[in-house]
Structures are given as C-alpha cells and as structure tokens.
C-alpha cells in the first residue's frame, strides 16, 4: 500500500520561493567579479573581414576574447561539432558571437562593445527551408506498403500543415557565472540550466580540460521548457573563456532582449500528409513528409526531428505508414529544444488531418479517433508492439464523459457575432530518450545515508519548476519506507552527483525515478529491521554498513531498437491524453478566447498528482499560446519579437479554466507504475484549439499560430462580400 | 552619457528647469515610456526634468467649462474617480485597458499626451471628448485642442519650455453616448492594434453631434471626419452604422503592417468593430450613457 | 541625490543617481534579491514592489520618485498569509515570478477586504494580469489568490 505515492507533499523548494530567499544565478555575487558581453554579427550570412577597434576606447580597461583565445577546440559540442564557440570567418546567422568582452562594470562593458565594430562582407542567405541544400538529418520510417494501400483505399485525403516558431519565454533569462581555475585548476560555472553534464561536456572540449577539471553547478532555475537544454552550453563556454583570460569571475546574465534575439526557439515546420481510409473511416495508409527548419547549426535538430517523426502518425493504428523527415540548414538563428521536441508540430498536423478526414466523411471527429485509436497489442508506426499501459481508450472515454464532445454537433452552422466552438485532440508522447538512447546514456544516481540517518539523493536531474525535488523525495521515501522529510535532494553539481542524464524528454520521473526507486529498495534491504526509519538508518551507519547505493539504468528486457531502419521500440512507454478546448471567437476582431480547457491524461501512476496537474495546465497554456497567440517571425534572419512588449505570451486573463482528469494506467517498467508527463501537454493544445475554431467559424485552418490576422484573411476568402 | 536630472518639487521649479538654455529637456512623469527608452538607449537625453513630485499637476477639479484633470493623473486615479466616471466614461474605459495594474498606477494623462505615440490609448478618448490641453511655461499658459496638439508621429505642439499642466474635458451635452473599443495583442498588458473612441450627442432620435478618433491606425491619433459627417443629422439605423463604419475605414485611417498586426486586418477589424460599437453599444465593452 | 525612504519599515538614506531604477537600488545597492528582473520594461511584473501601498514595476520607477515614500518588497512583513496560500496550492513552480505575484496578490486581497468586495475569479485574473507566469497556466496561482483574499486576517 503506497504511503507517499499519490499524496500531496509540500514542495521542498516552496518556502524559499514564496519568501524570495531562493537564490537564482543573477542573485549570486563572487568577489572580484566582472561582467561579460558579446560582440555579434549584424548580418545573417557573410564573411568576417575584420573587427575594427575604436581608438578612442582604452582597451586596457577590459579583457577581450577571440577565437584564438580558445584553448581547446573552438566548437560548441552538442550532437555534432559544427558550431564554433566564436566565429572567425564564416558567419551563418544574425547575432553569431564573434568576440567576448569582460569589464569591471556594465557601463565600461557597453562602451567596449560599442567600440568593437565587425566588418563583414554579406553573402546571400537562405531563409526558406524548402530551398535549403544542406540536410542536418534525414529520417525514413517504413511500415507495410503505403502506395498499394493508398491505391486500394475507399477515400484518400491530402493536407499540408505549417507551424511557426515559438519562444520558450522562461521568466528568468539565461545566465551563468564562470569562475577562473582554482588552485587545483578546476574551472567552475554556476548557471541557470537544465543539463549540467551537457555543459560540462562542451566546456571540456572548448577549454581542453579533463572532465574532473570542469565543475558545473545548477543554481535555482527560473523556468526552462527546453530553452535551457542546449544554450547554457554556449553561454557557459563564453563566460568560462572570459574568466580564464581575465583571471576573475565573470557573470553573463542576458537581458531579455539578448535572450529573445539570439537563443534557440521551437523549429518551424511544414508537414504534408496523404492518407487513405476504408468505408468505415479506418486508416489504411499514412504517407507523411516532415520538414523542419533547423537554423544555422545542427544543435539538437536531429533528435528533435526524430521525436517529431516517431509521433507523426499520431496515436492511431495503421498498417501502412511511411514517414520521411528532414531537418535542414538555413541562416536563421539555430532552433533548439522546446517542450515536446518536434512532436507538437507533427501532432498538430495529424490531428488537423484527422479533423479534415472526419469533416469529409461526415463522421464525428471523436468517433473517427475512437475507431482508429491504438489498442493493447497493436503496433505503432515504428512497429513497436504495445504490450501494456495503453490508456488510449480510457482517456477518450473520460474526456467524453467530462465534456460530451462525442455528441457535440461539430461545425453546426452558427449565427451569433461571438461564436463558441468546441474541438478535441488525441495524442501520445513517448517517455524517455528515443530508441537506444537510455541504454547508451546509462543514467546513474546515488543514494546515501548521512550520520543523522537521512537519505540523500544525488542526481544530475534538475529542478526548474516541474517539481523534481518533490518527486524524488516521494519516490525515495516510498522505496525506503521512510518519511519524505527523511529524504534530502542534493544540488546538481558535476563534482557531487553522478550523471543521471539531462533533464529533458519526459525522462526524469520514469527513467531517473525508476533508478532511484531501485536504489531505495536496495538501501532499505541493507538497512533491514523494523521500526522508525531514522533510528534504523542511524544504527546502520554507526555499525559501519555500506550506506551508499549507486544505481544505473537497466534497459527493460525485450526492448529493441534498430536505429538504421528506425524500427522497434521507440520508447519504453507512452503517455496518452485527450484535450477538449472551448473557444469564443469574436467575428469583428477574430480574437480567439479559449474559455475552458479539459484534459484526460494517462501518465501511469501519478506519484504527485498536484505536480502532474501543474505540468499539464502549464504545458497546455503554452500550447494554447502556440495555437493562436504567440507569434515569432523573422526578417532578414532577425527575430522581430525581440522585446517582451512584442513577444506575447498569455496573461492570467488569456488563460482558460482548466480541468485535468488523471486516468492512471500503470506501467510496470516505471517507478510505482509512473510514466512521463512533462512534454505531453504541449502536443494536444494547438490542434484542440484549432478544431474549436473550426467548429466556431467553419474554417479549416492548417497553420499556426492562427492569429486574428490569419483568421480574418481566411474568413474574407470564404466571404468575399465582406471585403472592404 | 548620464543625463543631468532636475527633480522638480514645484511647478515653478519644473518650468525654470525647462526654460534653461542648452539642449531641450525630456520630461519624466510616471516613467512607463522614458525609463524603457533610457535603458535601451533609444533615447539619450542630455537633460531630464522629473515632475512626478509636482503637486500642482495632480488632481481632478470641476470647473464651469468642464472637468479639469491634472497632467499627472494616473490611469488608476482616473478610473476610480466618480466625477470622471459620470463625465467621461469613455476615458475610464480607455484607462482600464492600459497595461495592467502596475502600469495603470504609473501611466499618466500628461505622459500619454507628451509621448504622442499613435498607440497611446488615452489620446483617442481625449480627442473624442473634445478635450483641450493646457500648456504652461514661464511665458504664460495657453490651451490647445488635443486633436491639434497631437500633430504627428510622436510629435506635439508643445514648445520646449512648456509643460503639460492639465486637460479640460468640456461639459457634456444632455443626451450623449460615449463608445470605446480597444483591440490588442492579448486581453491585458497589451499594446493596441487599434482603438476607436466615439462621443455621440442626440436630439431626439437623430445624431446631433459626433466626435470620433482612432489610435494605432495611422501615424498619429486620427480624427474620424468621414464618420462624423456621415452620422450627423441622421438616426442611427443598423444600415447607417454599417455603411458609415465602412466609409470611415476606407477614408479616415491609414493603417500599416507592423510587428503587432497588418494593414488589411486593421482596416477590416476597424470597420467591423466600429459598426458593432455604433449599433449595439451594450454588447461590447463600451460605456453606458451618462 | 540624497534619497530618504522607508524600506520594509526601516528608514534609509542613500546617495544615488536620481534615474537609477528602484529595482537596482533594491537588488544591487541593498542586496534584497527577492525582487526579480524578468524583462526590464514593465511587461512581466517579476519586479513588482509596493510604493506607498501601490504595486509598481520597480524596473520603471526612478529612485528620485520614491524619495519620502514607503517601499515594501517581498522581504517585508505582512506577506505570511499569501505565502501560505501559495504553498498550499502549489502555486510556485520555478519561483521566479512568485515574489511579484505574491506582492500583487497581497495588494489585491487587501483591496478586496478594504472595499468589502467578494473576491471573484475574473477579478483575480484582472488583478494579476500584469504578472506573467510561464509554468503554471495560472490555475494554482488564481486559487491561491482567491484563498488569500477570502481568508480573514
């Protein structure tokens, strides 16, 4: 009988956050610290000829770092090595870093930056991904015989779907403070980040140091959403280069403008779908083409594309599937990780396509989804056999009970000026790294007892709002049989915690939490006995027992993945969910107000239901914004929304009332039956909102964000008599 | 680099500082615009006169000709003042949609006028109300219609030594309806894509006088002459509301594409919003007849 | 200029540039880092503080304008109940918007009480619309705000 799983623990990070005493990186100061800044390219593509120095500025007051000052390799190591830490000749995107400057104060820094003027010969940039000739990654998934199935289908359909970029807009901008080498030659970076070991890997390469000489410490982090998965590696490298040369701590805390203008956002996408169905609306074939704009460098595009492609066929059974995906280079600022990681784009496409099929067949969208939903024993697009924990039908039933979406007269004609509409989406999301990722990563954690008999969890999994610390306290306490207050969670610090992997990919609960649960059970067995945990643990420590357990991820038996053919078990388990959105569209302004939003969610056992709901509501609001409110556009390779005044996200008045129902279908491979939930809400919001807009207006919209401007244009095309 | 700052404690101190020779001074009121401009370096004034503590610029007074509003009246003060509520509900409605609470606490009437942004939400309301701005300098005082005062993109008739002292909202006619609508990028804390403000006086069923203005659909706050002409002397039939709004959207505004919206959207949404506003004033966030 | 003001109940006198942002005075000069900078242009509300009982974005307020004023930051007294409501509802996730949210919630709750108004959800949404949160979807924050406004002192 679970004692802690399913309970509602107080967040250990809560009291400091509500009191304002929690220290974020901008709140920290180190003796003798200077501030760092970046000289950037002012064109999207070109050749750097020189950087002229204004003779009026006294450069002895500052420290300048150029490519020649990089002691290791001048690269940012992520998936590949194509991105320089500082560009020396070829400029591939607007704002590309060229030089770094450290100065004693902000005014001197700004004066120095203004006195360094890059001279660049512009070259013709490529902004249209369809015109790109450079492919970062190509993926082909093949199942069955798509062409024959299409030829034999009762009806076939085609659609093209586009999504624009999206800004993570964590409220705390990117920031790090780098310290120069200490007496042992160890370089330390404190930062707002999701993945301490990613940052360490990049620093090792650029600084030419062994891993033990590079220490990365995660400070309290004010939101990430993927935006602090990759970019902190760049910022940390810059700050560390400056600290090394200046011989003093250097802080680089971006202001909002620099953060918005130059850090990665969601990949813009174009997805084409051809489908064939039988007389009952059952999917016979899906032919899907996915194109992502990767921006100027590889960064994480190959794995974003991978997740996007694997989810592209949606949570639907279909015997004949072909998915062809490409992530290509352009001269945009590199795109990167954002919650959902490629899946929101493809999920949007397939869900809109399902609504299209439903409308064409005269079949209710709910019924179409119910008929085609994956079931236990089915195989996914990659051929993965679904052996357990498939909540597909359960979430559909629950959302229908809650909202009666199944009987809602979708697209019924309406006459009022403010039009209400309801729409749904149905989606799944794989938890953990794709394919063999977890096996290769080999996540490690440590669990140890202190002299007081308290258990300390050591992992690199970071807290940035999701509730990682609370979750780990709950899992450890349940596994150890102790009180949650007997568990402490160590600050992620590469010198103090083993590498449990990055905090991404909906993997913290299911993967790292699973390792932790195993470690907890092992430690509990070692301690043994009965009675209060603390007493037993103290006695065990005093008796000299081995009070530290290290545990590593073990691939569940039977999981197989062929990375060449893109076939097999793409993820250990999937979360399943259905959303319904209710909108009100004002026919004068085409403003879309999302009034209410319901979700039915299977993420396995909810270790901490309050955290799950927090993740789902927060993620859903980001998805609601992605659908219709949040606009990111570029001009000559520059993001046009480079201030918070123009980069719009929902306020409390723009947010709907949320209702989130948990439908728990446990997974035997997860801790106490848990799966993952972090990214999933990002997948379903946009198609649900667009379906609701379609219900309200009768317009089949295939592009997001569906701004009032876009809706008006579509409306006028459908009602030319209303054109002025 | 750092501007020279005069923190004025009285109207005399402020006017003396403005009258000094040398570079023209920037006036600082609630700071919602200038503090951002200074931070980003878009504005680099040599001198700043901070008038926030000048008591003579505060307060609301009833006068024979109408309601006099101090230039430092904040949105928050205006929307809680019962005299403003009964006299100029249009202005209250506009104040309510400026930013959110923190901005409403700091954004001032004088700041809106002085900055003269085409997106400043209070200015169309003031133009529709036929308000007059009082400018004071050591040379004396003068009054200018707000409509004329806002003479171009971020341009006003204020001379460099003058301070916006107050605004007079004239006494209202017996039978009047005041209408307001803002369309922003979101439901709060947003810069407008378009605003429209209309004051309609009636004699019997017929419109006897109209003043109307719009924001964010041209380089400055625009007076809607076509609309005014179309409506005067006629009863507000649904057909007239539609045709006058469409004629106005064609003739009176010059919207552009920018980071917030498009010209096409602004023109069409403007016509649609205006038609609805005229025809069903209760169905939109308009103001009840006073 | 010589600046005299009361901060969290303590009278202070500082020598500052008149246009220095109140945010920098509080965070850098006085090392009270509970007030956060999210945007530096009055859009996000993370830097909300009370000046003479009114919530303002401290990134937009020049030091000269708080001369003689009473400034209260999240470190000040009187936030206990609102904090407790935020904890109970799980309204703090990443926590960076939380101090500003709590400052605004307190001001709103006190206003509801003062004006004898029944606190409502739409009213809470309007009051908190100048404080952006990217984690929660606002649900938990609004529930916490309603709790705070309903509880009696």
Q: What is the DSSP string of A562-610?
A: ETTTTEE-S-SEEEEEEEEEEEEEETTT--EEEEEEEEEEE-BS-SSHH
* DSSP-derived 3-state class of residue A472: helix
B250 in the same domain as B197: yes
Q: Are A670 and A513 in contact (CB under 8 A)?
A: yes
Burial of A203 (0-12, 13-18, 19+ CB in 10 A): buried
Q: Are A40 and A107 in contact (CB under 8 A)?
A: no
The structure tokens listed for A338 are 């954002």
B111 in the same domain as B31: no
* DSSP-derived 3-state class of residue B166: strand
Name every chain C residue with its beta carbon within 8 A of the beta carbon of B100. 45, 126, 129-131
Option in B2, B28, B189 nearest C43 (CB): B189
Measure the CA–CA gap between A313 and A321, rounded to whole angstroms.
8
Domains of chain C: 2-72 (3.10.20.30), 80-150 (1.10.150.120)
Measure the CA–CA gap between C20 and A708, rounded to whole angstroms.
40
pLDDT of residue C151: 66
Helix (H) or strand (E) holding A436: none
Measure the CA–CA gap between A382 and A311, rounded to whole angstroms.
10
A580 in the same domain as A506: no
- Per run of 10 residues, the mean pLDDT along chain A (length 724 residues) is 88 98 98 98 98 98 98 97 98 98 97 98 98 98 98 98 98 98 98 98 98 98 98 98 98 98 98 98 98 98 98 98 98 98 98 98 98 98 98 98 98 96 98 93 97 97 98 98 97 98 96 98 96 96 96 92 96 98 98 98 98 98 98 98 97 98 97 97 98 98 98 98 96
* DSSP-derived 3-state class of residue A113: helix
A546 in the same domain as A502: yes
Option in C64, C126, C132 nearest B7 (CB): C64
- Give Cβ neighbours of residue C71 (< 8 Å, ≥ 6 apart): C5, C6, C7, C8, C22, C26, C49, C50, C51
The confidence band for B290, taking pLDDT boundaries of 50, 70 and 90, is: very low
pLDDT of residue A1: 54
Is B56 a residue whose pLDDT tops 90?
yes
Interface of B with A in 198-237 (CB under 8 A): none
* DSSP-derived 3-state class of residue A429: strand
Domain boundary among B170, B196, B224: B170
Q: Please name the residue of chain A whose CA is at the shortest distance from the CA of residue C36.
A: A172
CB–CB of A654 and B187 under 8 A? yes
B257 in the same domain as B161: no
Which residue in this structure is represented by tokens 């002895």?
A: A60
Using alpha carbons, list the distances in angstroms from residue A400 to A304, A579, A597, A682, B207: 32, 10, 13, 21, 52
A559 in any annotated domain: no
Measure the CA–CA gap between C143 and A174, rounded to whole angstroms.
30
A405 in the same domain as A461: no
pLDDT of residue B280: 79
Domain boundary among B141, B170, B199: B170
Q: Are C115 and A633 in contact (CB under 8 A)?
A: no
B288 in any annotated domain: no
B54 in any annotated domain: no
Burial of B22 (0-12, 13-18, 19+ CB in 10 A): exposed
CB–CB of A256 and C41 under 8 A? yes
State the CATH number of the domain containing residue A528: 3.30.365.10
State the CATH number of the domain containing residue B103: 3.30.465.10
Using alpha carbons, list the distances in angstroms from residue A477 to A12, A154, A507, A527: 14, 56, 20, 14
Please check whether residue B271 touches A, CB under 8 A: yes
Q: What is the DSSP string of chain C?
A: -EEEEEETTEEEEEE--TTSBHHHIIIIIS--TTS--SSSSSSS-TTEEEETTEEEETTS-BGGGGTT-EEE-TTSSS-HHHHHHHHHHT--SS-SSHHHHHHHHHHHHHHHHHHTPPP-HHHHHHHTTTS--SSS-SHHHHHHHHHHHHS--
B119 in the same domain as B101: yes
Please check whether residue C145 touches B, CB under 8 A: no
Option in C44, C87, C121 nearest A14 (CB): C87
Task: Point out which residues pair with A423 in neighbouring strands.
Answer: A581
A458 in the same domain as A354: no
Using alpha carbons, list the distances in angstroms from residue C45 to A124, A172, A223, C34: 41, 12, 16, 13
Domain boundary among A250, A284, A308: A250
Instruction: Report the residue of C60, C139, C147 to disrupt the A interface, i.e. the one with the largest count of A CBs within 10 Å.
Output: C139
State the CATH number of the domain containing residue B218: 3.30.390.50
B287 in any annotated domain: no
Q: What is the DSSP string of A385-415?
A: B--S---HHHHHHHHHHHH-GGGS-TT----
B273 in the same domain as B203: yes
The structure tokens listed for B41 are 């370096």
State the CATH number of the domain containing residue A85: 3.90.1170.50
A486 in the same domain as A621: no
Q: How many domains does chain A have?
A: 3
Domain boundary among A510, A528, A552: A552
Q: Chain A to chain C, count of Cβ pairs less than 8 Å apart?
A: 153
B82 in any annotated domain: yes
B160 in the same domain as B65: yes
Give the closest-approach CA distance of C128 to chain B in angstroms.
8
Option in C1, C56, C127 nearest B106 (CB): C56
A451 in the same domain as A427: no
The ipTM value here is 0.98
A428 in the same domain as A459: no
pLDDT of residue A557: 87
Measure the CA–CA gap between C121 and C141, rounded to whole angstroms.
11
Which residue in this structure is represented by tokens 């509080």?
A: C26
HSE-CB for A451 with a 13 A CA cutoff: 0
A698 in the same domain as A583: yes
Give the closest-approach CA distance of A432 to chain C in angstroms.
21
B80 in the same domain as B162: yes
The confidence band for B288, taking pLDDT boundaries of 50, 70 and 90, is: very low
Please check whether residue A196 touches C, CB under 8 A: no
B187 in the same domain as B158: no
Pairing of strands C48-51, C54-57: antiparallel
Domain that holds residue A333: 269-434+567-722
Q: How many domains does chain B have?
A: 3
pLDDT of residue B2: 86
Domain boundary among A250, A278, A301: A250
A620 in any annotated domain: yes
B85 in the same domain as B42: no
B55 in any annotated domain: no
pLDDT of residue B286: 38
Is B287 a residue whose pLDDT tops 90?
no
A580 in the same domain as A548: no
A717 in the same domain as A609: yes
Burial of A509 (0-12, 13-18, 19+ CB in 10 A): buried
B289 in any annotated domain: no
A260 in any annotated domain: no
A62 in the same domain as A39: yes
Measure the CA–CA gap between A368 and A357, rounded to whole angstroms.
8
Domain that holds residue B249: 178-280
Measure the CA–CA gap between A427 and A503, rounded to whole angstroms.
22
Q: What is the DSSP string of B239-257?
A: HHHHHHHHHHHHHT-----
B193 in the same domain as B102: no
Please check whether residue A653 touches C, CB under 8 A: yes
Give the closest-approach CA distance of A119 to chain C in angstroms.
31
Domain boundary among B170, B203, B231: B170
pLDDT of residue B284: 35
B285 in any annotated domain: no
The structure tokens listed for A105 are 């104060």
A668 in any annotated domain: yes
Is C153 a residue whose pLDDT tops 70?
no
A286 in the same domain as A425: yes
- Give Cβ neighbours of residue A39 (< 8 Å, ≥ 6 apart): A51, A97, A98, A99, A100, A101, A113, A116, A118
Helices (H), B97-192: 101-104, 109-115, 122-128, 146-149
A327 in any annotated domain: yes
């Amino acid at each position: 009988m679970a004692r802690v799983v399913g309970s509602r623990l107080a967040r250990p990070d809560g009291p400091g956050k509500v009191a304002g005493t929690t220290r974020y990186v901008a709140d920290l100061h180190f003796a003798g610290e200077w501030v760092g800044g970046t000289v950037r390219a002012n064109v999207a593509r070109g050749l750097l000829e020189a950087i002229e120095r204004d003779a009026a500025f006294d450069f002895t007051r500052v420290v300048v770092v150029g490519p020649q000052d990089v002691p290791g390799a001048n690269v940012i190591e992520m998936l590949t090595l194509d991105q320089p830490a500082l560009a020396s000749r070829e400029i591939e995107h607007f704002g590309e870093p060229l030089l770094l400057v450290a100065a004693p104060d902000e005014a001197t820094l700004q004066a120095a930056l203004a006195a360094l003027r890059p001279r660049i010969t512009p070259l013709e940039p490529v902004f249209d991904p369809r015109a790109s000739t450079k492919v970062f990654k190509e993926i082909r998934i093949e199942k069955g015989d798509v062409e024959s199935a299409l030829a034999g289908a009762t009806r076939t359909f085609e659609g093209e779907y586009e999504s624009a970029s999206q800004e993570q807009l964590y409220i705390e901008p990117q920031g790090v403070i780098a310290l120069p080498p200490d007496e042992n030659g160890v370089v330390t970076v404190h930062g707002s980040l999701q993945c301490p070991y990613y940052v360490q890997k990049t620093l090792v390469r650029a600084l030419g140091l062994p891993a033990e000489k590079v220490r990365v410490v995660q400070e309290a982090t004010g939101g990430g959403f993927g935006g602090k998965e990759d970019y902190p590696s760049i910022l940390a490298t810059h700050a560390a280069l400056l600290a090394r040369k200046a011989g003093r701590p250097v802080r680089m805390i971006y202001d909002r403008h620099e953060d918005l203008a130059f850090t990665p956002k969601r990949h813009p996408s174009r997805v084409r779908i051809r489908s064939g169905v039988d007389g009952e609306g059952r999917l016979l074939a899906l032919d899907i083409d996915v194109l992502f704009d990767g921006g100027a460098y590889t960064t994480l595009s190959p794995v974003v594309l991978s997740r996007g492609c694997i989810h592209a066929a949606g949570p639907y059974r279909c015997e004949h599937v072909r998915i062809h995906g490409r992530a290509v280079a352009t001269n945009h600022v590199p795109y990167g990780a954002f919650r959902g990681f490629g899946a929101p784009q493809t999920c949007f496409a397939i869900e809109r396509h399902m609504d299209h099929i439903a409308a064409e067949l005269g079949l209710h969208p709910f019924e179409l989804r119910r008929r085609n939903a994956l079931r236990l024993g089915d195989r996914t697009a990659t051929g993965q056999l679904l052996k357990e924990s498939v909540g597909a039908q359960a979430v559909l039933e629950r959302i229908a009970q809650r909202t009666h979406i199944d009987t809602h007269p979708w697209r019924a004609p309406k006459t009022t000026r403010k039009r209400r509409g309801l729409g749904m989406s149905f989606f799944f999301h794989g938890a953990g790294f794709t394919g063999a990722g977890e096996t290769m990563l080999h996540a490690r954690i440590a669990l140890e007892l202190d002299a007081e008999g308290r258990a300390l969890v050591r992992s690199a999994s970071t807290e940035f709002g999701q509730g990682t610390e609370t979750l780990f306290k709950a899992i450890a306490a349940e596994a150890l049989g102790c009180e949650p207050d007997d568990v402490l969670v160590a600050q992620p610090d590469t010198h103090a915690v083993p590498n449990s992997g990055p905090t991404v990919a909906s993997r913290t609960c299911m993967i790292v939490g699973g390792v932790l649960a195993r470690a907890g059970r092992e430690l509990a067995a070692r301690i043994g006995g009965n009675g209060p945990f603390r007493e037993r643990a103290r006695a065990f420590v005093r008796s000299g027992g081995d009070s530290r357990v290290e545990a590593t991820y073990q691939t569940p038996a039977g999981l197989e993945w062929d990375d060449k053919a893109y076939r097999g078990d793409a993820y250990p388990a999937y979360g399943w969910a259905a959303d319904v959105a209710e909108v009100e569209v004002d026919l004068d302004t085409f403003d879309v107000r999302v009034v209410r939003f319901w979700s039915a969610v299977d993420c396995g056992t909810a270790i901490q239901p309050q955290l799950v709901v927090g993740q789902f509501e927060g993620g859903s609001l980001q998805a609601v914004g992605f659908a219709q409110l949040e606009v990111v556009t570029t001009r000559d390779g520059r993001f046009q929304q480079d201030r918070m005044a123009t980069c719009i996200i929902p306020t409390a008045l723009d947010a709907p009332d949320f209702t989130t129902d948990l439908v728990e279908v446990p997974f035997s491979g997860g801790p106490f039956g848990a799966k993952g939930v972090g990214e999933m809400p990002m997948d379903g919001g946009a198609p649900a909102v667009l379906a609701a807009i379609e219900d309200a207006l009768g317009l089949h919209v295939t592009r997001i964000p569906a701004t009032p401007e876009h809706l008006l244009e579509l409306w006028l095309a459908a009602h030319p008599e209303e054109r002025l | 680099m750092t501007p020279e700052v005069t923190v004025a404690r009285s109207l005399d101190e402020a006017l003396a500082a403005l009258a000094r020779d040398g570079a023209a001074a920037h006036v600082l009121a609630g700071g919602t615009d200038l503090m951002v401009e200074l931070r980003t370096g878009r504005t680099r004034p040599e001198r700043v006169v901070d008038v926030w503590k000048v008591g003579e610029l505060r307060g609301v007074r009833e006068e024979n000709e109408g309601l006099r509003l101090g230039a430092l009246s904040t949105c928050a003060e205006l929307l809680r003042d019962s005299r403003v509520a009964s006299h100029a509900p249009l202005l209250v409605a506009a104040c309510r949609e400026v930013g959110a609470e923190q901005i409403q606490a700091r954004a001032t009437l004088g700041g809106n006028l002085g900055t003269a942004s085409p997106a400043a939400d209070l200015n169309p309301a003031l133009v529709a109300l036929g308000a007059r701005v009082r400018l004071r300098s050591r040379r004396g005082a003068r009054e200018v219609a707000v409509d004329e005062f806002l003479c171009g993109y971020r341009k006003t008739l204020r001379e460099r030594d003058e301070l916006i002292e107050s605004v007079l909202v004239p006494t209202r006619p017996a039978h009047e309806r005041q209408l307001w609508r803002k369309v922003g990028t979101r439901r709060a804390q947003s810069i407008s894509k378009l605003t429209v403000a209309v004051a309609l006086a009636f004699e019997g069923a017929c419109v006897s006088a109209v003043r109307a203005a719009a924001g964010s659909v041209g380089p400055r706050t625009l007076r809607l002459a076509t609309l005014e002409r179309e409506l005067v002397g006629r009863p507000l039939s649904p057909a007239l509301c539609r045709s006058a709004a469409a004629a106005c959207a064609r003739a009176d505004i010059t919207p552009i594409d920018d980071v917030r919206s498009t010209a096409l959207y602004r023109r069409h949404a403007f016509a649609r919003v205006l038609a609805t506003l005229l025809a069903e004033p209760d169905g939109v966030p308009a103001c009840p007849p006073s | 200029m010589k600046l005299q003001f009361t901060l969290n109940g303590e009278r202070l006198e500082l020598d500052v540039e008149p246009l220095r942002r109140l945010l920098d005075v509080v965070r850098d000069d006085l090392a009270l880092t509970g007030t956060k900078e999210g945007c530096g242009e009055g859009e996000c509300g993370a830097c909300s503080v009370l000046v003479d009982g009114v919530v303002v974005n401290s990134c937009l307020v020049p030091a000269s304008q708080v001369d003689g004023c009473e400034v209260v930051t999240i470190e000040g007294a009187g936030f206990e109940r609102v904090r407790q409501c935020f904890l109970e509802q799980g309204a703090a996730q990443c926590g960076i918007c939380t101090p500003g949210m709590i400052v605004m919630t307190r001001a709103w709750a006190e206003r509801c009480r003062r004006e004898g108004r029944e606190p409502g959800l739409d009213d809470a949404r309007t009051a908190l619309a100048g404080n952006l949160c990217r984690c929660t979807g606002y649900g938990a924050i609004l529930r916490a705000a309603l709790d705070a406004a309903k509880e009696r002192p």
